[in-house]
Amino acid sequence: MSNSSGRSVARSNFLRSLPTNIVIAIVLLIGVFTMLTPFLWMLSASFKQEAKVLSYPPSLWPEPWTLENYKYVFQTLGYMRFVVNSLIVVTFTISGHVISGSLVAFGFARMRFPGRNVLFFLVLSTMMIPFHAYMIPRFIIMRQLHLLDTLAAVFLPYLFGGAFYIFLMRQYFMSLPFELDDAARIDGCNSFQIYARIAMPLAKPVIVTVVVLEFLAAWTSFLEPLIYLNTQDKYTVALGLSLLRSGFGGRIAWGPMMAATALSALPPLIVFLLAQKQLIGGIAVTGIKG
């Protein structure tokens, strides 16, 4: 009797919530369609002939299919050279944020010293300064160091960590039990050994979060490479895409641009999909303890 009454209650609840669920599903489908349409058009245009890209009425199905846009991107534009340059910048910036940033975050989270909170507040206050405010002083510094038109000028400022990532990692380190530090010190570990052998292995979720976020930021960065780089052979992917704006007689090369844009969107998508679970977990846990 109780089972039948339970099933009837569940059925009535389902029927009562059915209109709401249908409305939610329709809204979600509209949102998905709205967000995917530009991506699908970009992907479709990358396989179209140049004259067919802006044809009216628009069509998502290329007629005929062609790989000429991708051939132009790889052979004429030299896209792989831009990819290598971007990977160099990404590798150094991520390494700087993870190594330097985690050391600073560990010090603020697990060590006691005079002025710790004041220094942490000063670090966070740098987040309020927009890039345009120190863009010219940084350019002058790079010129004095004779680093203009080198990839080092792009990634050098990020070898010492960033305030936002320091904050994320500090919050995660503070969520770890302090009893781990006490036990490690009893076993003879110093602060650096605690950082390297205990804190960092346990901080994998937040480290993955930093890696993914900085990969996206460094891979899509346009303004800084534009400021420091002059030689085309040293362009990053984001800067190399700008060459397609005057690719054919001074007009925008839509087909090759869509092909190059689709290729440039592939690495961030792969990185995000591979690290999706760790990324969500790392962001969620950083607010546990302040």
Token readout for 179 is 């009893």
How far is the C-alpha of 202 from the C-alpha of 96, rounded, in Å? 19
- Which residues does 31 contact at the CB level (< 8 Å), separation at least 6? none
Token readout for 187 is 């076993």
* CA dihedral (218, 219, 225, 231) positive or negative: positive
- Specify the pTM: 0.82
Q: What are phi and psi of 129, to 5 degrees?
A: -90, 115
- Which residues does 195 contact at the CB level (< 8 Å), separation at least 6? 102, 103, 106, 110
How far is the C-alpha of 86 from the C-alpha of 241, rounded, in Å? 12
Cα dist from 267 to 107, 263, 276, whole Å: 33, 8, 14
* CA dihedral (199, 202, 206, 212) positive or negative: positive
How far is the C-alpha of 4 from the C-alpha of 1, rounded, in Å? 5
pLDDT values of the chain reduced to their tens digit, one per residue, 290 residues: 455 665 665 666 666 677 788 888 899 999 888 888 888 888 888 888 877 777 777 777 888 888 888 998 898 888 999 999 999 999 999 999 999 999 999 999 988 888 888 999 999 999 898 888 889 999 999 999 999 999 999 999 999 989 999 999 998 999 888 898 889 898 888 989 999 999 999 988 889 989 999 999 999 999 999 999 999 899 999 998 888 876 545 567 788 888 999 999 999 889 888 887 766 665 555 544 44
CB 104 within 8 A of CB 162: no
Residue 64, judged by CB atoms within 10 A of its CB (0-12, 13-18, 19+), counts as: exposed
CB 255 within 8 A of CB 206: no
DSSP state of 234: G
